Amino acid sequence: MLPSRAAERPGSTTPQQPPPHGGRCFSQDRWRITCPGCCSRAGESSTTAAARFRAVAANSAPGAFRVLVVPSAGTPFLSRPSDVHATSVRCRVQSWSEIVITVENLTKTFPGSTGQVRALDGVNLDVAAGTVLGVVGPSGAGKSTLARCVALLERPDSGAIRVDGTDLVSLGGPALRAARRQIGVVPQGDSLLRQRTAAGNVALPLESAGVPGPQRRTRVAELLDLVGLTDKAGSYPDQLSGGQRQRIAVARALAASPSVLLADEPTSALDPDTTGSVLTVLDRARAELGVTVLVVTHDMGVVRKICDDVAVLEDGRVVEHGKVLDLVADAASRTAASLLPAVDQNPAAEGAYDRVADVVLVGFAAVGALLPEATSRFGVDLNLLGGGLTRLGETPVARFRVGLNGERADSALEWIAEAGGAVRRTLAGPQGVAA
Ligand SMILES: Nc1ncnc2c1ncn2[C@@H]1O[C@H](COP(=O)(O)OP(=O)(O)OP(=O)(O)O)[C@@H](O)[C@H]1O
Ligand SMILES: [Mg+2]
């Protein structure tokens, strides 16, 4: 049976437990709780905070308290409160780079009218615990097939799917049913039972699992609270908006405390406002319950708002995969092309500069300070010729086309790159070479 990731919310105390986190790092004799999300230093980007936390984790003694860190949402929770009660604490700091889902060389073929359709063609993917992964790609790329395979609703032809280390493909009988309970699914489209109330829909998986009435009611109330629909408990699906129905579907998928939540196009039929409320709920599931979320979507806005990682599928293959904030720094990536502000060509304006470059800056500190500092350090004249600012999750990100005049223009660009900016010289302009 897969270990449950059902989490305690921070703040519940017994004499043996550490005090509520209170939004600050603290350490005591045996406890050390550190998280970059709520303890980011002023002006620190989440990337820098993440690197700092990793260093803390690497240097932590085995007695360190186990904390799941949620970098962007900033709500840490004690992942195994029972560990606190142990006389000899053997927990470890769990970094979010711990892998919860591994997909290895997955293939799936369907019979088609003109021969076999290879929906998945050797897919490899790692998903880190407590992250939100966006699976994107054109229609027919294999996104839903991948999600269905991970949810064990579809058997792959070959390959492995490990969730918390267990290869799901090799399971059968009760072990398979137990593994399925660890994966909550929000299916594509309207999936609620019309004849049941919102609370009745959420309770369904608990009834199937034989959870007794009083516990069931408590759990349903918690889940309705999580998705912000306590007041709709008695409403029927037809009395709810599309977004509210999707939030109930998320609550239902979370009922059995899964470690993984799969949502296939959860916002495809929704307007932008309603989309936001559904995405907030997915983000809360990750932040407050520590669930790893895999969201299939056509909409790069979903990636922009809640995804830590993204996998781009095309013709059944993963053609790009990584952290969103890393991929946007690579100008050639599809993710950068979709998420960063466009830079219009303006050869006339660019011709007036000694050097012209595209610079991607990630995080508060970089966006706010790097270019002015380069200007003053190197005594160059630096102007913004195009591009702009955006936000990826909570992180501000900028792509600017900059023009520089001055003897030390090259040094200024090199310094920006060393300080964490992604610098790509354009072929336009007098320097004529791409760095
Ligand atoms: N049950 C099935 N029987 C036959 N072919 C299928 C089946 N399911 C998927 N396919 C085919 O496999 C390929 C991948 O389909 P899939 O639904 O995974 O794509 P998708 O990326 O989710 O597309 P969309 O964005 O349109 O939902 C498509 O060519 C599709 O027609
Ligand atoms: Mg699909």
397 is written with which tokens? 């990100």
Q: Considering only CA atoms, which of 13, 35, 11 is closest in space to residue 21?
A: 11
* Cα 140 to ligand 1 centroid, rounded to whole Å: 5
* Cα 119 to ligand 2 centroid, rounded to whole Å: 11
* Cα 27 to ligand 2 centroid, rounded to whole Å: 46
CATH of domain 340-425: 3.30.70.260
| Domain limits, the chain | 1-97, 99-327, 340-425
Size of the chain, expressed as the number of residues it contains: 435
Answer yes or no: are the C-beta atoms of 117 and 109 closer than 8 Å. yes
The superfamily CATH assigns to domain 99-327 is P-loop containing nucleotide triphosphate hydrolases (3.40.50.300)
Q: CA 344, 350, 356, 358: dihedral to nearest 10 degrees? A: -10
Q: Please, what's the b/e burial string for 131-146 (b: 16 or more CB within 10 A of its CB; e: otherwise)?
A: bbbbbbbeeebbbbbb
53 is written with which tokens? 């936390």
174 is written with which tokens? 């009760």
4 is written with which tokens? 């449950």
pLDDT value at position 164? 73
Q: At what angle do helices 364-378 and 409-418 cross, to 10 degrees?
A: 150
Q: Considering only CA atoms, which of 30, 13, 14 is closest in space to residue 22?
A: 13
Residues 6+ apart with CB under 8 A from 225: none
Residues 6+ apart with CB under 8 A from 42: none
Q: Which atom of ligand 1 is nearest to 111's Cα?
A: 4
Nearest CA residue ID for atom 3, ligand 1:
110
Who surrounds ion ligand 2 at CB < 5 A?
A: 144
Q: Which residues are bridge partners to 373 per DSSP?
A: none
Per-residue pLDDT of the chain in tens (435 residues, 90 and over written 9): 333 323 322 333 333 333 333 333 433 333 334 443 434 444 544 455 445 555 554 554 443 433 433 333 333 333 333 222 222 222 233 333 466 788 999 999 999 888 899 999 999 998 888 889 999 999 999 999 999 999 888 999 999 998 877 888 888 888 888 888 889 999 888 889 999 999 999 999 999 989 998 999 999 999 999 999 999 999 999 999 999 999 999 999 999 988 899 999 999 888 888 899 999 999 888 877 878 999 999 999 999 999 999 999 999 999 999 999 889 988 889 999 999 999 888 888 888 999 999 999 988 778 888 999 999 999 999 999 999 999 998 889 999 999 999 999 999 999 999 888 899 887 545 554 433
Ligand nearest to the CA of 150: 1
Nearest CA residue ID for atom 11, ligand 1:
119
Strand order from edge to edge, sheet including 115-128: 115-128, 99-112, 158-163, 166-167
74 torsion bin: left (phi>0), alpha (psi -120 to 50), beta (else) = left
What is the distance between the alpha carbons of residues 93 and 101, in angstroms, rounded to a whole number?
19
What residues does ligand 1 touch, defined as CB less than 6 Å away?
110, 112, 117, 119, 137, 139-145, 298
